[in-house]
Amino acid sequence: MSSPRKSRDPKTLRPATALVHGASVRSQFDETSEALFLTQGYLYDTMEIAEARFKGDEPGLIYSRFSNPTVGMFEKRMALLEGAEAARATASGMAAVTASLMGQVKAGDHVVAAKALFGSCLYVVEELLPRFGVESTLVEGTDLEAWRAAMRPNTRTAFLESPTNPTLEVIDIAAVAEIVHEAGATLVVDNVFATPLQQRPLALGADCVVYSATKHIDGQGRTLGGVILGNEKFVSTHIHNFLRQTGPCLSPFNAWVMLKSLETLHVRVAAQSRSAERVAEYLSGHPRIKRVLYPGRPDHPQYSIARKQMSGGGTLVAFEIDGGKKAAFAFANQLSIIGISNNLGDAKSLITHPETTTHQRLKPEQRAALGIGPGLLRLSVGLEDVEDLVEDIGRALG
């Protein structure tokens, strides 16, 4: 039956509308909420149809490791939001990072990455890739000359996150993309901290964007997931077959949770960013706080780059408390609303001590070079009333 309702080209929708309606596919039951297709496989009417699907002569679903209608809706909605031609969902953010790099390289290739990476990403670049004959070089992400000097004829790809975890350093994505492209390589950006609403790496020149959807995209502490986005050629050449054959696929159930979460992403990120700015302001005036790092503040070391490439300051604040690890632990242990957890982007405010948790496996000199000292704390600001958060912090500092 044809629908009397007009449909609008989803690419023309503004982000908040695309997040609610984009890429919805209705079943024959005309449900309002997107359906959860919790199925491993699909039936073929005839053997001939099965043969044609496997040969690729006929479109259609084959197996949920390759594609699933609920996962497909999530991928397409993410692609709309990011302005990407193609997206593939993965079981976690680390599955997305690993596939985005491993899918591009072969033995004899070289990879360049910024030093300030999430610990597991550093493992992939520094330990995993070299095991398969792919050399890697780590550079100071904010030093453009260092990127240029690290490029070699066999450099295949470059990788960075911005703002970085946990010190919220901001790297000039457009400038790095130019250097990387001049060398004939591609640029992959981990956009977890900025979210697709506050930073568009593809528009800045990146070839691929990866997310831990576990963070703001779920945003309510339930499911793990990841996404890889790029143009059709990048995704079909480097990602599609790698994921299909190696299997780090997103569960349809998790895709459905994420799809529903996307409906509120813009409201959550906007509210959390406003609160993060207020918390950063409060911390910056406190005598026990030595330094506050928030990309939305003029005193941030890369404020001008943040203003150029981000449309908000993000939902995270990093700060250094006077008195090192002992003071940091005592402060966090006194908090009653803000929870102690290494996760981020959640509706609940969460605080972590990077030196002893997320960045524990780094050598002390690596941590020192990244500015991860014993007094550094990373706060992910949630959806609570910000004045309750400020009071919680004030009491714990007092």
Ligand X SMILES: Cc1ncc(COP(=O)(O)O)c(C=O)c1O
For 140, list phi and psi in degrees, rounded to 5.
-70, 115
**Within 13 A of 191's CA, how many CA atoms are on the CB side?**
28
- CA–CA dist 147, 150 (Å, integer): 5
- CB of residue 277 vs ligand X: minimum separation in angstroms? 21
Q: Nearer to ligand X by C-beta: 96 or 332?
A: 96
64 sits near ligand X (criterion: CB under 6 A): no
277 sits near ligand X (criterion: CB under 6 A): no
Q: Nearer to ligand X by C-beta: 160 or 397?
A: 160
371 sits near ligand X (criterion: CB under 6 A): no
Residues in the chain: 398
Q: Using the 8-state DSSP alphabet, how is residue 87 labeled?
A: E
169 sits near ligand X (criterion: CB under 6 A): no
350 sits near ligand X (criterion: CB under 6 A): no
68 sits near ligand X (criterion: CB under 6 A): no
74 sits near ligand X (criterion: CB under 6 A): no
Applying CB under 6 A, among 64, 195, 212, 223 the residue interacting with ligand X is 212
Q: Using the 8-state DSSP alphabet, how is residue 118 labeled?
A: -
- CB of residue 51 vs ligand X: minimum separation in angstroms? 38
Q: Nearer to ligand X by C-beta: 104 or 212?
A: 212
Query: Footprint of ligand X on residues 186-205 (CB under 6 A)?
Result: 190, 192
269: which 2 tokens? 């990120």
Write the interaction track for ligand X spanning residues 82-101; mark x where CB under 6 A is met and - where it is not.
----------xxx--x----
Q: Which residues of 253-288 are buried (b: 16+ CB within 10 A; e: fewer)?
A: ebbbbbbebbbbbbebbebbbbbbbbbbebbbebee
Q: Which residues 6+ apart lie within 8 Å of 7 measured at CB?
A: none
On whether the CB atoms of residues 24 and 259 are closer than 8 A, the answer is: no
Count of residues touching ligand X (by CB under 6 A): 15
Where does this chain bind ligand X (CB under 6 A)? 92-94, 97, 118, 120-121, 161, 165, 190, 192, 212, 214, 224, 226
